[in-house]
Amino acid sequence: MPAKLILEDKTIELPIFVGTEGEKAVDVTKLRAETGYVTLDSGYMDTGACTSAITFLDGEQGILKYRGYSIEEIAEKSNFIEASYLVIHGRLPKEDELKKFQAKIASYDDVPQGIKEMIKIFPKDAHPMGILSSNMSALSAYYPDLLVQDLSPEQKETVMAQLMGQLKVMAAYAYRHQQGKEYIKSDKNLDYCSDFIYMMTGNKNVDKEVAKALDILLVLHVDHEQNCSTSTVRMVGSSKANMFATISAGIDALWGPLHGGANQAVLEMLEEIKDSGKGYKDFLAEVKDKNSGSRLMGFGHRVYKNFDPRAKIIKVACDSVLAKLGVQDPLLDIAKGLEEVALKDEYFVSRKLYPNVDFYSGIIYRALGIPTNMFTVMFAMGRLPGWMAQWKEMVEQPGFKICRPRQIYVGETTNKYKDIKSR
């Protein structure tokens, strides 16, 4: 049955679109053409900007699936490279396909010399997300054959593997520059996460549990439906901007503290609690006081109205890493205290303010010795395959067109120009 919309003295029918998981939408594609009206939806909270077969998310039920596979099963049985292949290609790879994909990513184990020099030009206290975004865009200068408007299937395969290899390299180089140390070249004999840790630290003997925890974190970040950065990638990519510029835009969107910067905000909150001299119980009491201005970061989620399914998975890895490393850190003690109390406190439980993936990821990164301003870079590494999968899906869909939202004008209507001397 179509939906019926009454506008003044006119009634029109709007088709109902139902997704494979039962999601329902009113199709307003022809609304303006038939009525002259547009919809107004600030922040696009109730707007379906596209159809997609990549990720399903049910915030009320706490469900997340990649291509129909539950995030719990993918995190337990798969790994980051295979999960990346899944979202990009729409299916799990066969053994030879996975090996080929891994080898192609590993073949991009360095970046052009100009990019290396560009990283060194930045101040050592520059935020690594700014370095990453700039370098991603600058890569376009070195691969002119990938700047054509319509990439061939082979070119798409090349650039997607290339970026997974080179973003990891640029992230590690940005970290080394920040530390005032020389770059460490990638080792193709190591798995993706062990290699990244090696490039950052110089330690080839990476503990398997630690590498696995990082791998799980990346898996959990691979895709998350039409969030701010993914929508940005689709928006910029819809203009047929090259892949480098498109992904750079996604990095910039992710950089924001309301998006990818959330796990950084968790550690900043822990630092504030420590520096204030208050205990975490006093801080939680302040959070309950609406007039205090104190906010509990890393708890609750914009989409999930229940427990973040990713948080359940990463909590296990987090506990394992902390036990394995035996790190003595007052910030981690505060974090564990906050978690323990908030999970039992009726105030937070009744409001379903459970720890989210950003809370646990920040703790793991801290335990691994990764600086706070690198947290969002780690997020970008995990989200990259999702961005590319969303871009690929968009440009290959029938009826592909440039994104062009409408607006409702609320400005002045009758201003008259005045000469500058009479203003």
Catalytic residues: 301, 358
Q: How many angstroms separate the CA atoms of 298 and 117, rounded? A: 36
Burial track 248-283 (b if 16+ CB lie within 10 A, e otherwise): bbbbbbbbeeebbbbbbbbbebbeebbeeebebeeb
Burial track 232-245 (b if 16+ CB lie within 10 A, e otherwise): bbbbbbbeebbbbb
- Indicate the DSSP class of residue 162: H
Q: Using an 8 Å Cβ cutoff, are 248 and 235 in contact?
A: no
- CA nearest neighbour of 67 among 53, 48, 80: 53
Q: How many angstroms separate the CA atoms of 298 and 377, rounded? A: 17
407 contacts: CB under 8 Å, gap ≥ 6: none
How far from 6 is each of 13, 35, 37, 60, 408, CA to CA, in Å?
9, 10, 12, 31, 20
